[in-house]
Amino acid sequence: MNAALSITTLLAVVCLSWAATPEYKAKVITAVTTCAKEHNAELKDILEIMRQNKLPETKEQKCVVGCFFEKMEYVTDNKVDWEKVKALNPQKYDTPELVEKVNQVTDECAKVVTGKYSDICELGTPAIKCLKEEAEKIQLPKPDVKFDLKH
């Protein structure tokens, strides 16, 4: 099955369920599916990375992550704009305590991941790695992301 058909099929059946706002969920779905299509990545592989909280391994996966940051409007002048990331944090979690924790994670990564990247495929991976590691350090629960793939 070609990538475009696969993406279209999966887009129609993907259901994200976590404590994020409906607008944020829709933005994530649009960004992930658009980026997978743009970078010829299998959407099912990208969804598996998200579900398993893994880091991207292939060039296509890395490109999708960088593209995702761009589509989420987290990028300014070829670098991660951590203030923009932080601005959307209240849409990711539904309690003030969890928003505070995710803000701590964002602030730590803002200190560590500061580089400019001319290649979008290299931009997202350091940010995702930092976010994952810092979240684990303070035991920030990962948003409960569930995908219902129906045929």
Contact 57, 119 (CB under 8 A): no
Q: 3-137 adopts what CATH topology?
A: Recoverin; domain 1 (1.10.238)
Q: 76 pairs with which residues across the strands? A: 79
Contact by Cβ (8 Å): 119, 69: no
Lowest model confidence (mean pLDDT) among 16-25, 73-82, 98-107, 125-134: 16-25
Which comes out higher in pLDDT, residue 90 or 53?
90
pTM > 0.85? no
Q: Are 68 and 35 in contact (CB under 8 A)?
A: yes
Range 12-17 average pLDDT: 41
Domain range annotation of the chain: 3-137
10 Å Cβ neighbour count for 124? 27
For the segment 36-62, the average pLDDT, to the nearest whole number, is 90
Q: List pLDDT tens digits, range 95-131.
A: 899 999 999 999 999 999 999 999 999 999 999 999 9
Measured CA to CA, the distance from residue 30 to residue 52 in angstroms comes to 20
**What is the band of 18 on the pLDDT scale with cuts at 50, 70, 90?**
low
Residue 15 belongs to what H/E stretch? Answer: none
H helical segments located in 14-42: 22-38
